[in-house]
């Protein structure tokens, strides 16, 4: 991937509850200059960034608790619905992992259904927190999230570990598997500790090795806050 290809897949991120209006405006100015796929902010910053962001750039909002996701399907639904009604094009939501042999279970499915129903027509990206999970759990949660209607499965928040090569490979496989099984094209978002072009190239090679149609068909995102500065 060349620099432009990477930026076209980038969710340029500023997740800081204390960010000032000047910092948010500067963030939007940088986004407007680079034209990434989307920006990603907290819901309380949505109104400000909408005023200063080019219309063609999508706005993704983190809702339902970050980096620790809500345990209540009702709370998740309200947070996601509020974000969408406030103008979010996309919503990133943590499915909080549990240290239990029954994870994921019916209660986790209820959270995923609440996310999907509340998001409506907005793009739903489910954050799975892969650094906290074993392979079996990663695969189980990915399959459950995709079955519940997630548009993207996202590797992690980056606050409790970084995106590993293993997670990128597993998520790409599960996207391919879901398409073969259900004829539904879904996407993958790699996020967490991705700071250099070399990081992107290594991870995208793993995705392409599983299914080279994912990146080529706008079903691939990279979540990062500092990568854009490295690229430009």
Largest CA distance in the chain: 48
Q: Per the structure block, which two tokens stand in for 47? A: 């109104």
Residue 183 annotated among the catalytic residues of the structure: no
154 classed as catalytic? yes
Question: Which candidate in 92, 108, 151, 211 is catalytic?
Answer: 92
| Active-site annotation holds for 105 | no
Which of these is catalytic: 151, 189, 199, 211? 189
In whole angstroms, give the CA distance from residue 27 to residue 20.
11
Catalytic residues: 92, 154, 189
């Amino acid at each position: 991937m060349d620099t432009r290809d990477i930026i076209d897949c980038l969710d340029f991120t500023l997740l800081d509850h204390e960010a000032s209006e000047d910092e948010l405006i500067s963030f939007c100015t940088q986004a407007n200059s680079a034209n990434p796929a989307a920006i990603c902010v907290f819901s309380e910053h949505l109104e400000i960034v909408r005023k200063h962001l080019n219309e063609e750039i999508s706005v993704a909002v983190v809702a339902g608790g970050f980096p620790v996701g809500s345990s209540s399907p009702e709370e998740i639904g309200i947070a996601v619905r509020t974000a969408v009604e406030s103008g979010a094009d996309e919503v990133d939501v943590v499915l909080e992992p549990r240290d239990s042999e029954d994870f994921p279970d019916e209660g986790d499915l209820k959270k995923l259904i609440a996310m999907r129903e509340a998001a409506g027509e907005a793009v739903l990206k489910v954050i799975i927190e892969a650094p906290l999970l074993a392979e079996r759990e990663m695969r189980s949660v990915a399959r459950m999230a995709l079955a519940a209607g997630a548009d993207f499965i996202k590797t992690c928040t980056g606050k409790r570990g970084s995106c590993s090569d293993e997670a990128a490979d597993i998520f790409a496989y599960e996207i391919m598997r879901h398409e073969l099984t259900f004829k539904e094209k879904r996407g993958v978002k790699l996020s967490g500790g991705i700071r250099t072009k070399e990081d992107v190239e290594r991870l995208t090679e793993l995705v392409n090795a599983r299914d080279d149609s994912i990146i080529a068909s706008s079903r691939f995102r990279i979540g990062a806050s500092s990568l854009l500065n490295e690229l430009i």
